[in-house]
């Protein structure tokens, strides 16, 4: 966990200033190296809240039903309603998460998002191992351009930052090409997912990209291009970083963080 904690007071002040600067437009989280870490959540105000006590029960039935299906594929979507209010949900687990890890993650995600956004018709929560997206609006297959955030490793790279940034971009783009070329394998867990590494002399760069499986390969590419364009802003010269949305995400670090 050394990446998350900075001990020298001078450095901390610098780090806090950086975080404060980023907060108005993107939420940043310092800790990047835990297994199935909670990352972020959004209670979508625009969709409103449901009145009455039956709503949470209806959402639970949709999620419970989804959770009893085969999660080995790593993606499942479901639908239901509570009176006139529609309920749509999607779950995407990271491709290297086993079915049992995926199931545990979804259970945690659901109980947390219920607590954090009670009665919200729209709510999204991200963990390392899974994403849970609940909405009253049908958006399956669409790229969600509204909900985006980033995280970065507080450590700066030493040496040539420009070269490091260039290599990071190149690796992420190569992984994107690999992820979207799996068109013929739509029922595999690693569909629209790819992870890899690249030697940087004495160190190694590790990265992954993933889209939710409701996207087409074309839209996965569009989504990843969009978030990768945020690289200079989110993680310039940082030893690790990620940009996440409900449709796609990427991450890179100087240490391995996915199971191969």
Ligand X SMILES: *[C@@H]1O[C@H](CO)[C@@H](O)[C@H](O)[C@H]1NC(C)=O
H helix runs in 96-216, sequence order? 99-116, 161-180
Cβ-based nearer residue to ligand X, 186 or 256? 256
Residue 38, burial from CB neighbour count under 10 angstroms (0-12, 13-18, 19+): middle
Quote the least distance from Cβ 49 to ligand X, whole Å.
25
H helix runs in 23-98, sequence order? 54-68
192 is an interface residue for ligand X by CB under 6 A: no
Whether residue 126 contacts residue 39, with contact meaning beta carbons closer than 8 Å, is answered with yes
- For residues 173-205, one letter each, b for 16 or more C-beta atoms within 10 angstroms of the residue's C-beta and e for the rest, the string is eebbeebbebeeeeeebebbbbbbbeebeeeeb
Cβ-based nearer residue to ligand X, 94 or 114? 94
Cβ-based nearer residue to ligand X, 37 or 198? 37
Sheet of 75-82: strands edge to edge?
38-43, 123-127, 130-135, 85-93, 75-82
Question: What distance in Å separates the CA atoms of residue 168 and residue 252, rounded to the nearest whole number?
Answer: 7
For ligand X, which residue of 27, 31, 33, 58 counts as binding (CB under 6 A)? 33
The set of residues, in sequence order, having a beta carbon less than 8 Å from that of 118 and lying 6+ positions away, is: 49, 56
Structure tokens at 60: 């639970």
- Please give the residues from 142 up to 161 whose contact with ligand X meets the rule CB under 6 A: 142-143
**Piece of the chain touching ligand X by CB under 6 A; list 89-97, 136-144, 175-183, 195-203:** 136-144
52 is an interface residue for ligand X by CB under 6 A: no
Whether residue 117 contacts residue 124, with contact meaning beta carbons closer than 8 Å, is answered with no
- Please give the residues from 202 up to 221 whose contact with ligand X meets the rule CB under 6 A: 216, 219
The residue with its CB nearest to ligand X is 142
Cβ-based nearer residue to ligand X, 250 or 257? 257
Quote the least distance from Cβ 25 to ligand X, whole Å.
22
Quote the least distance from Cβ 197 to ligand X, whole Å.
13
10 is an interface residue for ligand X by CB under 6 A: no
Quote the least distance from Cβ 245 to ligand X, whole Å.
11
Question: What distance in Å separates the CA atoms of residue 225 and residue 247, rounded to the nearest whole number?
Answer: 12
Site string for ligand X, 91-130 (x = CB under 6 A): ----------------------------------------
Which residues of the chain form contacts with ligand X (CB under 6 A)?
A: 1-3, 33, 141-143, 216, 219, 255-256
């Amino acid at each position: 966990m050394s990446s998350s904690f900075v001990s020298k007071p001078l450095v901390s002040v610098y780090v806090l200033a950086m975080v404060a600067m980023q907060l108005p437009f993107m939420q940043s989280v310092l800790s990047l190296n835990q297994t199935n870490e909670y990352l972020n959540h959004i209670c979508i105000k625009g969709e409103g809240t449901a009145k009455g006590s039956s709503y949470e029960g209806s959402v639970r039935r949709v999620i419970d039903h989804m959770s009893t299906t085969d999660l080995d594929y790593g993606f499942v979507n479901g639908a239901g309603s509570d009176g006139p209010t529609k309920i749509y949900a999607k779950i995407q687990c990271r491709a290297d998460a086993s079915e049992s890890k995926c199931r545990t993650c979804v259970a945690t995600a659901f109980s947390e998002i219920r607590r954090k956004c009670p009665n919200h018709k729209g709510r999204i929560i991200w963990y390392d191992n899974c994403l849970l997206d609940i909405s009253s609006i049908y958006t399956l297959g669409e790229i969600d351009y509204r909900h985006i955030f980033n995280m970065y490793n507080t450590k700066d790279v030493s040496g040539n930052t420009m070269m490091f940034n260039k290599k990071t971009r190149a690796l992420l783009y190569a992984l994107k090409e690999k992820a979207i070329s799996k068109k013929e394998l739509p029922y595999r867990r690693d569909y629209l997912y790819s992870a890899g590494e690249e030697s940087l002399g004495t160190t190694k760069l590790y990265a992954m990209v993933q889209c939710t499986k409701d996207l087409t390969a074309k839209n996965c590419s569009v989504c990843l291009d969009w978030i990768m364009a945020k690289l200079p802003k989110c993680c310039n010269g940082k030893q690790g970083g990620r940009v996440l949305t409900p449709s796609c995400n990427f991450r890179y670090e100087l240490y391995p963080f996915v199971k191969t």
